Amino acid sequence: MGFILSLFVIGVGAVLRYAISVETNGVDLPLIGTIVMAVGIASAVATAVDWARDAWFEAEELEHHDDRPRVSEPITN
């Protein structure tokens, strides 16, 4: 899930948790809303970690970039 979808899931969970006051038998909407918000938060954190990891690897590749050609054997004349 991307960051925008995570925010949407958090919003849906918040609506279920705080805005709906319907009494139902067998379904606890505030609990479902809390679970959905937790999933959205976990997804947002995972997305942020993935973005940070990608940026770190990209920076590391740029830092260790070497334009010299790789030679496996010494060149002899």
pLDDT at res. 38: 98
pLDDT at res. 21: 87
HSE, side-chain direction, 13 A CA sphere, residue 71: 5
| pLDDT lower than 50: segments of the chain | none
Q: State how far the Cα of 8 lies from the Cα of 41, in Å rounded to an integer.
A: 10
Q: State how far the Cα of 49 lies from the Cα of 3, in Å rounded to an integer.
A: 11
User: Between 3-14 and 29-63, two packed helices, what is the crossing angle to 10 degrees?
Assistant: 160
Output the pTM of the full model: 0.69
At residue 19, what are phi and psi to the nearest 5 degrees? -100, -20
**What SS3 state is found at 38?**
helix
